[in-house]
Chain A
């Protein structure tokens, strides 16, 4: 305005001088203050909203915003102090109710006040960065009421007490609780947390700590788990009903910690109802409950897994060391399969088919199965039994399913080469026992083995089958030729009482037989020669040697009036034929006449003379065992209900101790070149390698067949050093070098 003079003439706009009443601010505030008082006292009906709004508006416009805001704070503070005193005065149960009621009133009042002071909220509060009316109301309520010394602790105490009472079975006013917790949450998450939640969680932990001890002392594991499950559900329900949803994971965590995590070991190890007894008694429901509860806390499933693993290992170990159980191999494997099924069912039904549990189970089975040095033999014997059953007309699908399960056990074997040895022996017996073998079942098992271990593993087994088939064809040719010869040379002095059947086996594919040929009777010898001539005529350059220890024969014999057909081994036939010439022969006579190895001879004689109902010979003196000085006599009084009598058994039997040793030794011998080959293969590629890496690599390469012993590997390496395939590094003791 003053600058106007310098610039000369200037028209000024008309100004109406506003005379401001100096006490305007105070006066207007007085009106508003009165109104607020009325509102707080629920007497708002007589107030004019429009007028009050304008007053507040004018105060802000006329820069009395400060006065207005501060006045509001003072008035409300004073009011709330009075309210707090009233709340504090409330007795017992009434306290929380009073608090709730006053809170509701306060909210309603503040809403109205906010409406009146809307303009202040929009302009003054915004510019001055102050709390808007609603927030102010909350803050004041928090500071003047909720956090007042006489209220804060009492409120908390009552809340916790109510919750405790509900936990112990009382019915409480949930709506009231809900109102209070909502109030705390409205005052801000930090108020809810500091003034309530933290204490609540502590109390919860305390409560369940005590309860866990009580439960442990009084309940079985199964009851405990049920209770824990119920408690967890209750706590969830509680939060839904009257706590803030954000508390749910926290309180659940606390309960899980107290009831499950801290007690898991005690639970699992409970004497008569813990995990092991549950497993033993197949308590699917309880196990399932344990699994779902334990899955919620860290480390608990690990504990379950380790206890499960140890338990399976322990029962397995006991099974394997139980001489009663291992007496019958077939029964033993059955038992193993049952165990496996049992745990598979448990994992399926109770543990949600959890992969990690299956892994533990597999490891445990592998562990204990390989503790038994006879496991490979027994598994092969079991398969033998199944395949014979398949032949006897059991349902082929059943047999196949059982074989599938046995393959599972087979997979656990570390010494697959030992199994192969036995399987080969047993297969040979099956194939040679003469009775038709169930081709389909055999082949299907062979395919399974092939899938598991590869072509190499089964190639020899397959060639055994081929031999049998080829032999059948050869015999057909041979017989037709002989028939032709017989009819053309009708003279036929050749009394063809003997029906020869030869099986030509490839050396190397079949289990090695060291037995020498025994002395065959003249008639038979001629047959053999004839066949030999026939065979070599079409397969020149081959060599045939007779394995008389593997054959069998059907022969007709007469005992007085009665005639029987005897089914015997070739050895037994040779022995019995001697009795065509004499009625009584000494052991030594028989030995020298037949040339059968003594061990086999004794066994053959034993089944001819010492088995009741099949004793076609009599022995002097009568005893169970065969002595060198015994004498054998044709038993003219032999009788049997059956026309056909089967003597001696060819079915596979458990090996005796020396036989087992022998097989073991053979296996060890066979392993040597395999280990050496592996070492050379590795060293050829790597040139220089340290000892431990070689051992690890060899073990890995051979693991499909067997688990080589580190000492044996070392021995093989030393042998290779001696033969100058390798040398030691002159400087580093750990290293070997490959010598090309």
Chain B
């Protein structure tokens, strides 16, 4: 409790404030905010813990473990958002969402983070379809036209039981480049097989609907 970090002297005041905020939610037994603290923080921020904004916050903090924010992560996140109080943080989050949706590079970084965030075991490299679907619906903007068809495809197909990082990031590029009806999909570009199958699935459905 008594340990104080004095590493950053440049802005001692802000540092103090974020420290205070951290201590407010900190877990009693650990030097980090635990699941309960996170839930507490979310309710103060008036957001759903499983919402996109919380994931965005975790991204800004570069959080390593799901449901935990370390002291370092927490202060990094607040600094990046230039927020020192719950109020400021609440206002910063919608802006952050806007920024991510308008800046492709930021979105790509966030989207990759979302995948890695789901890797809970050491040396784990893939996430199961169920988690992937859940994560997709949080990380992707709801306006993405490929989102729902892709999710329903993932749930109906039987070939893949899990998704790897390559497939995950490829889908993000795919959503960026390929039209909703997949008419500009170029097979000669080396898309992962999963996406080949998805396009086939979409085209088949198009034909059935004709």
Seen from chain A, the residues whose Cβ lies within 8 Å of a Cβ on chain B are: 690-692, 711, 714-715, 717-718, 721-722, 728, 733-736
Interface of A is mostly: helix
Does residue B164 face the partner (Cβ distance < 8 Å to A)?
yes
Residue of B nearest to A712 (CB): B193
Task: Tell which of B125, B173, B188, B193 touches A718, judged by Cβ atoms closer than 8 Å.
Answer: B193
Task: Tell which of B166, B188, B189, B196 touches A721, judged by Cβ atoms closer than 8 Å.
Answer: B166
A718 with B192: CB separation less than 8 A? yes
Residue of A nearest to B159 (CB): A715
Q: Which 3 A-B pairs have the closest CB atoms?
A: A691-B190, A733-B189, A722-B164
Chain A residues with CB under 8 A of B166: 718, 721-722, 728
Chain B residues with CB under 8 A of A715: 193
23 A–B contacts, CB within 8 A, in A order: A691-B188, A691-B189, A692-B188, A711-B193, A714-B190, A714-B192, A714-B193, A717-B190, A718-B167, A718-B192, A721-B164, A721-B166, A722-B125, A722-B126, A722-B165, A722-B166, A728-B170, A728-B190, A733-B190, A733-B191, A734-B188, A734-B189, A736-B190
Residue of B nearest to A719 (CB): B164
Bound form: Cα–Cα A690–B189 in Å: 9
Q: A718-B164, A733-B191, A735-B190 are in contact. List 13 more A-B contacts (CB 8 A).
A: A714-B192, A714-B193, A714-B196, A715-B193, A718-B166, A718-B192, A721-B166, A722-B126, A722-B164, A722-B165, A722-B166, A728-B166, A734-B189
Residue of A nearest to B166 (CB): A721
Chain B residues with CB under 8 A of A690: 190
Tell me the smallest distance from the CB of A690 to a CB of chain B, in Å. 7
Chain B residues with CB under 8 A of A722: 125-126, 164-166
Which residues 162-194 in B have Cβ within 8 Å of A in the complex? Answer: 164-167, 170, 173, 188-193
Seen from chain B, the residues whose Cβ lies within 8 Å of a Cβ on chain A are: 125-126, 164-167, 170, 173, 188-193, 196
Chain B residues with CB under 8 A of A714: 190, 192-193, 196
Residue of A nearest to B169 (CB): A728
Chain A residues with CB under 8 A of B167: 718
Chain A residues with CB under 8 A of B126: 722
Tell me the smallest distance from the CB of B186 to a CB of chain A, in Å. 8
Tell me the smallest distance from the CB of B187 to a CB of chain A, in Å. 10
Chain A residues with CB under 8 A of B193: 711, 714-715, 718
Residue of B nearest to A717 (CB): B190
Bound form: Cα–Cα A733–B190 in Å: 6
Bound form: Cα–Cα A714–B195 in Å: 12
Bound form: Cα–Cα A117–B46 in Å: 131
Chain B residues with CB under 8 A of A728: 166, 170, 190
Residue of B nearest to A724 (CB): B125
Residue of A nearest to B170 (CB): A728
Q: Which of B166, B193, B196 has the most CB of A within 10 A?
A: B166
Tell me the smallest distance from the CB of A675 to a CB of chain B, in Å. 14
Tell me the smallest distance from the CB of B178 to a CB of chain A, in Å. 11
B190 with A734: CB separation less than 8 A? yes
Tell me the smallest distance from the CB of B2 to a CB of chain A, in Å. 44
Chain B residues with CB under 8 A of A735: 190
Residue of B nearest to A732 (CB): B189
Bound form: Cα–Cα A403–B132 in Å: 57
Residue of A nearest to B126 (CB): A722
Tell me the smallest distance from the CB of A129 to a CB of chain B, in Å. 73
Tell me the smallest distance from the CB of A730 to a CB of chain B, in Å. 10
Bound form: Cα–Cα A734–B190 in Å: 5
Chain A residues with CB under 8 A of B191: 733
Chain B residues with CB under 8 A of A692: 188
Chain A residues with CB under 8 A of B170: 728
Chain B residues with CB under 8 A of A736: 190
Residue of B nearest to A718 (CB): B192
Chain A residues with CB under 8 A of B173: 733
Bound form: Cα–Cα A722–B165 in Å: 8
Bound form: Cα–Cα A266–B166 in Å: 58
Q: Which of A711, A717, A733 has the most CB of B within 10 A?
A: A733
Bound form: Cα–Cα A711–B195 in Å: 12
Bound form: Cα–Cα A718–B189 in Å: 14
Bound form: Cα–Cα A691–B125 in Å: 24
Residue of A nearest to B125 (CB): A722
Chain B residues with CB under 8 A of A734: 188-190
Residue of B nearest to A692 (CB): B188
Bound form: Cα–Cα A735–B196 in Å: 17
Bound form: Cα–Cα A643–B177 in Å: 81
Tell me the smallest distance from the CB of A223 to a CB of chain B, in Å. 52
Bound form: Cα–Cα A718–B191 in Å: 10
Bound form: Cα–Cα A336–B35 in Å: 73
Bound form: Cα–Cα A690–B190 in Å: 8
Bound form: Cα–Cα A692–B188 in Å: 7
Tell me the smallest distance from the CB of B161 to a CB of chain A, in Å. 14
Tell me the smallest distance from the CB of B188 to a CB of chain A, in Å. 6
Bound form: Cα–Cα A692–B196 in Å: 15
Q: Which of B126, B190, B191, B192 has the most CB of A within 10 A?
A: B190
Chain B residues with CB under 8 A of A718: 164, 166-167, 192-193
Chain B residues with CB under 8 A of A733: 173, 189-191
Bound form: Cα–Cα A721–B170 in Å: 12
Bound form: Cα–Cα A722–B126 in Å: 9
Residue of B nearest to A726 (CB): B166
Bound form: Cα–Cα A94–B167 in Å: 97
Bound form: Cα–Cα A691–B190 in Å: 6
Bound form: Cα–Cα A153–B86 in Å: 114
Bound form: Cα–Cα A293–B165 in Å: 65
Residue of B nearest to A721 (CB): B166
Residue of A nearest to B186 (CB): A733
Chain A residues with CB under 8 A of B189: 691, 733-734
Residue of A nearest to B189 (CB): A733
Residue of A nearest to B190 (CB): A691
Bound form: Cα–Cα A736–B192 in Å: 12
Bound form: Cα–Cα A715–B194 in Å: 9
Residue of A nearest to B165 (CB): A722
Chain A residues with CB under 8 A of B190: 690-691, 714, 717, 728, 733-736
Residue of B nearest to A727 (CB): B166
Tell me the smallest distance from the CB of B196 to a CB of chain A, in Å. 8
Residue of A nearest to B194 (CB): A718
Chain A residues with CB under 8 A of B164: 718, 721-722
Residue of A nearest to B192 (CB): A718
Tell me the smallest distance from the CB of A107 to a CB of chain B, in Å. 78
